[in-house]
Amino acid sequence: MSGITLGDRSAPRPAGGFSLFLRRWMANPLQMGSVVPSSPALGRRVAALVERQGDEVVVELGAGTGAISRALLAGGVPPERLVVVEIVPEMARHLARSLPGVTVIEGDAFALSEALPAALHGKVGTAICGIPLVLLPTEQQRRFVAAVESVAPGRGFLLYTYCATSPLPYRKLGLTARREAWTPLNLPPASVWRYRPAG
C-alpha cells in the first residue's frame, strides 16, 4: 500500500522525532539500521552532492524522521522539488506534518516505479538512499538498484553509510562506486557513496 501526502503548510512543526526513531528501531532494527537519526553534518555532506537541473526532483528513500530531508531543504532544494519515500506509516505522517510543501510518499522504495507518480519518471536529478542496504542480501540490493534505474535511468544514487569501505558489492551489481564525502561529526562517523550504472 502506498499513499501520497503533501507536507501541511499550516501545521506546527513537531520536534525532532527522536523518540519516534528510537521506538521504530526497537520495533524493527533491521529496517531502521541506525539507532539515531543522521546528524546535521552528514545532512550537509549529502546536500552538497545533490545534482538537479530545471524541473528535476530529488528523491529521498527511507526518510525516517526527516534529518536528511531538512538538510536538503536548507541546502537549497525547493520543497516542491523534494520527494521523500518512507515505508513506515507513522513516520510518513510525521514527515508530512514536519516538512511543509514536500511530497511525502508512504511506500516501498523497492517498488519505486509504482510509488513515484509517473510524471516524475525520468525527472529524478538525484536519488538518495537512507535504507540500510548493507544489511540486505545481494539479490535484494539488486532489486533496489533496478527500482532506482526504472525511474532515474543512468543516474544512480547516493548512499550514506557507516561502512569504511563500499557497503555494496558494486561490481556484482553492475555499478561504479565513488566515496564522495566523509564526516567524523556523525554518530558513528559516516561516508557518502555515489553509485552509477557501469558502462
To which H or E segment does residue 3 belong?
strand 3-6
- Taking the least distance from each CB to ligand SAM, the nearer of 69 and 198 is 69
Alpha helices in 33-137 (DSSP H): 40-48, 67-74, 89-98, 112-115
Stretch that binds ligand SAM, among 6-14, 56-64, 72-80, 169-177 (CB under 6 A): 56-64
Stretch that binds ligand SAM, among 1-9, 124-132, 148-156, 165-173 (CB under 6 A): 124-132
The residue from 33, 125, 156, 167 that contacts ligand SAM (CB under 6 A) is 33
Q: Find out whether 160 and 192 touch, Cβ atoms under 8 Å.
A: yes
The residue from 7, 17, 64, 156 that contacts ligand SAM (CB under 6 A) is 64
Q: Contact between 151 and ligand SAM (CB under 6 A)?
A: no
* Beta-strand relationship, 103-106 and 157-161: unpaired
* Beta-strand relationship, 157-161 and 190-197: antiparallel
The residue from 20, 58, 59, 61 that contacts ligand SAM (CB under 6 A) is 61
Q: Contact between 67 and ligand SAM (CB under 6 A)?
A: yes
Distance of alpha carbon 111 from alpha carbon 91, whole angstroms: 18
- Taking the least distance from each CB to ligand SAM, the nearer of 88 and 177 is 88
Cα–Cα distances in angstroms (integers) from residue 93 to residues 20, 69, 84, 103, in the given order:
11, 14, 12, 11
Q: Contact between 85 and ligand SAM (CB under 6 A)?
A: yes
The residue from 8, 90, 108, 180 that contacts ligand SAM (CB under 6 A) is 108
The residue from 17, 20, 59, 62 that contacts ligand SAM (CB under 6 A) is 62
Helix axes 89-98, 18-27, angle to 10 degrees: 170
Cα–Cα–Cα angle for 34, 158, 179, rounded to 5 degrees:
90
Instruction: Catalog residues that contact ligand SAM under the rule CB under 6 A.
Output: 31-34, 37-38, 61-64, 67-68, 85-88, 91, 108-110, 130-132
